[in-house]
Structure 1
């Protein structure tokens, strides 16, 4: 926003430098670009866990770190702090995305929302049922939530490879149902992967949520205020027995989605301050350092940009690069490592746990997403986006089988460290790889046939 305003102030010959900056920023805003780093950290975790230094991989992530305030204290391993602490920031950004989509995006109206919501419901239920049917009566049956989610970064990264062969609408559809998938996964974690509830901590959490609600009602826009309350909420939810990452989603729902200025006020103010620049025919040059009036005008324009931007947009914009390029890759590094020497592959791939995950993601996801979408469209409840064919829906639903990040997260909640957790990781990585290759190949072949 500020760049757009500054472009008006500068001569045309300076626009090229700004145009060089913008694509770089847009690159870092794409979910797709983070998938390359995610692949790299996953490979690094696998190499480290199978190197001569494999023992250091497990010992490092199992290092215990304690945080205490007087008599109140929490001691967790480094991996647990990442999974419950750092990943709360990931869930916070997911919450911001969900809120934005509900307010102004693909989930803003019932008609627009029904297709991705229906697709997501089918894409969660069918894989979970396949997994549960294969593992019914076994200790591994508790992992039924593992094949329910879609990794939006990997899925968009895969579809990004096809470029303009794929219509924009399918990217929007994939993003929308993956966001609903994430919301569903959060509810599953909160409701079914909680060991027990400590009620006095839960009451403290409810009190903090009430304060957050009041702050939103009175349009408190200071992000630091929400950060402090969010930290207290995280500790209280952690103490309550619920999974602490739920705090991220909750806080995101209370972040204001209105700026201090509306667009008309912003245009009026910036128009006035732009009028403060009275320059000679040869241009202003570097007048900001010398001309106090120009400096005041620039600072006022910057303040107006801050006031018109909503806290929700500001936080999503500022946190997204950190989540995409730091939080999720660190999570993958800490959780994706499997020491294959400890796993008998023939036994692992015939185990109901591994089979349930692979079939749930590779078969259940495309079946559930495509079938639900078909039912919603044919019943008249929803309609296919413009230029989207059923081949696109099927291809995108195959990519929906890339569970990875959220699947690894739920696996860590489902099983203790050991053979059973290694089997689940092996199933997740294998299924995600198969889903990515099959989905990309399918979309490429059909786009090639239709768009020679």
Structure 2
């Protein structure tokens, strides 16, 4: 019985989608606490431990970012392909609103960041506040239960997927080191072979994964970030295998890979000086980009699209709720921290960017919860009196 009291709540959290977000949050808190404790040096040194052989010698932190996170990006690629083929992005007109909202949600935060940092060495980090963490954002919506219309959840899911696609393109185009043409051509050859397999309707997945390992190696050595290999492999996977793979990968990614990513990438020593630097141009550019830029970009682009008559709001979704959704999309976390690692080489600047991401994401989450709660209350107060007083009819 005592064991059941522990297992049942965990199962309920898992089924509701809240557990993955809570594990990410817990991993972040643990990592920050240990990094600022008596075990700080040992903990930081642990992530710098080198593993591998020959051309594949990397630190543990790099194996998480360049190895395990490829699996995460592979799942992102599967999700993008599924949504384009038979999901929310199949109908272009239906997909137009989240597409425009996602573009606005990338452009405005980048603009706010550059407003503070243009012409400075930190300007290379312009993409840090442009990303939305889909796991955390949907987790926040799940906290409100039935108070959030189904259309709003669908809209956020589509927006976050498009946001992920834009993030992948940004990483490929703007955060690529000096290219090695030989390795790049080898990666292109393997990708072409994967496309041929798909066209020939070869369904034996081990062959795709074997070629995928080669694709990962050559992309890694080419100078393009290794995670792009995960997305490219996903785009060639047979359609009938997508949902099965997504289901198989959900738990390993949510309960192992992403928490490990949080542990490895939030090993930050926080000092009074670093907290004070949150008000520096870099800290403000990231924090305000997430907290203000995301809702302004998403809300503004959606408003323009609806007013222009090229799209319409989802059913039961008000502008007040769209504002709350925009704030919720300001939770950057996983992808924002990932881009921060790619943006800077100076450890101090990387740590400051990560702290700004954490603070900005936390404030965006709290503001989003508050606005969505108030929006629900406003809907209740505007409901017809006879409907509000109508007794519940039991079957």
TM-score (norm 2): 0.92
- Indicate yes or no: 2:245 matched with 1:315: yes
The residue matched to 1:126 in structure 2 has which SS?
helix
Q: Specify the structure having the higher radius of gyration (Cα).
A: 1
* C-alpha displacement of 1:104: 1.1
**Change in 2 beyond 3 A, CA 1:30/1:223:** farther
Do 1:156 and 1:175's aligned partners in 2 also have CA atoms closer than 8 Å? yes
Aligned equivalents of 1:224, 1:28: Cα separation in 2: 29
Q: What's 1:152 paired with?
A: 134
Aligned equivalents of 1:32, 1:96: Cα separation in 2: 22
* C-alpha displacement of 1:338: 1.8
* C-alpha displacement of 1:66: 2.4
| Structure 1, 112-121 or 335-344: larger mean CA deviation | 335-344
Aligned equivalents of 1:418, 1:181: Cα separation in 2: 27
* C-alpha displacement of 1:31: 4.4
- Indicate yes or no: 2:29 matched with 1:43: yes
Q: What's 2:289 paired with?
A: 360
Aligned equivalents of 1:100, 1:120: Cα separation in 2: 18
* C-alpha displacement of 1:27: 6.0
Q: What's 2:365 paired with?
A: 436
* C-alpha displacement of 1:449: 2.6
Q: What's 1:282 paired with?
A: none
1:241-390 to 2 correspondences below 5 Å:
241-257=223-239, 310-341=240-271, 343-346=273-276, 348-390=277-319
- Listed one character per residue, the Cα deviations across residues 277-331 of structure 1 (whole Å, up to 9, x for unaligned) are xxxxxxxxxxxxxxxxxxxxxxxxxxxxxxxxx2111111101111111111100
The residue matched to 2:88 in structure 1 has which SS?
coil
- Indicate yes or no: 2:39 matched with 1:57: no
* C-alpha displacement of 1:24: 8.8
Do 1:165 and 1:451's aligned partners in 2 also have CA atoms closer than 8 Å? no
**Paired residue for 1:192, among 143, 153, 174?**
174
- Indicate yes or no: 2:386 matched with 1:404: no
In angstroms, what is the RMSD of aligned CA positions? Answer: 1.8
- Listed one character per residue, the Cα deviations across residues 355-409 of structure 1 (whole Å, up to 9, x for unaligned) are 1001101010000000001111111211111111111111000001000000000
- Indicate yes or no: 2:220 matched with 1:232: no
* C-alpha displacement of 1:74: 2.0
Do 2:274 and 2:352's aligned partners in 1 also have CA atoms closer than 8 Å? no
- Indicate yes or no: 2:376 matched with 1:447: yes
Q: What's 2:204 paired with?
A: 222
Aligned equivalents of 2:362, 2:24: Cα separation in 1: 13
Aligned equivalents of 1:100, 1:389: Cα separation in 2: 28
**Change in 2 beyond 3 A, CA 1:142/1:370:** same
1:129-168 to 2 correspondences below 5 Å:
129-168=111-150
- Indicate yes or no: 2:344 matched with 1:423: no
Q: What's 2:343 paired with?
A: 414
**Paired residue for 2:91, among 101, 106, 109?**
109
**Paired residue for 1:86, among 68, 92, 97?**
68
Q: What's 2:190 paired with?
A: 208
The residue matched to 2:224 in structure 1 has which SS?
coil
The residue matched to 2:53 in structure 1 has which SS?
strand
Do 2:122 and 2:282's aligned partners in 1 also have CA atoms closer than 8 Å? yes
Q: What's 1:67 paired with?
A: 53
- Listed one character per residue, the Cα deviations across residues 397-428 of structure 1 (whole Å, up to 9, x for unaligned) are 00010000000000001112521111101100
Q: What's 2:321 paired with?
A: 392
Do 1:343 and 1:422's aligned partners in 2 also have CA atoms closer than 8 Å? no
Structure 2: tracts of 5 or more residues without a match: 1-6, 382-395
Do 2:195 and 2:236's aligned partners in 1 also have CA atoms closer than 8 Å? yes
Q: What's 1:271 paired with?
A: none
